[in-house]
Amino acid sequence: MRRHFFKFFHPANGILNLYTFLLLFLPKFTRFFDLHYPYSLNKSLVDNVINENRDAYALTMNSRFRSVNDISIWLVRYYSLVTGFFSPRSVHFGKIYNLTQFDKMITDIDFCKHKVIVINDDESINQEQFENITKKMKNHFNIKLSKKSQFEK
């Protein structure tokens, strides 16, 4: 962490700098704060982590069901953090909503407040409400994203 001090304490990290500061006095990494946004990973880093953990990856990939011993893409993310192979990204990059926050979510979509939004379901919504909300969301996305991207063509 000393070698990459200004990546861990960076203005883009916002309030998360406080968590880092509070954990700074401990001798090892105790936890990582995971926002449920997409993360940028370098392909060579992924290859490196897979090559260093071939047996564990083989066990995970050959298992039909999840296990507490499985490894995932989070291993690559944590490895990138520990080795300093990352770039700080603003905490305002994305926003997490659940379906009960429909109006806020639509405003965010209409005015492009964030680059990424995560939409979680909510157990308090019944099937009819879910279908109604998803139909309205699709309409908003069709208006906002009326042209296909080059990947969809």
Q: What is the pLDDT of residues 76-96, one digit of tens each?
A: 888 888 888 887 787 778 899
Q: What is the pLDDT of residue 132?
A: 93
In sequence order, the β-bridge partners of residue 118 are 96
d(CA 147, CA 59): 42
Average pLDDT, the chain: 83
Instruction: Judge whether 88 and 10 are in contact, CB under 8 Å.
Output: yes
Q: What is the tens place of the pLDDT at every residue in 129-145? A: 999 999 998 988 888 88
DSSP 115: S
The DSSP code for 99 is G
Q: Which residues contact 87 (CB under 8 A, 6 or more apart)?
A: 7, 40
Which residues pair with residue 120 across a beta bridge?
98
Q: What pLDDT does residue 63 have?
A: 85
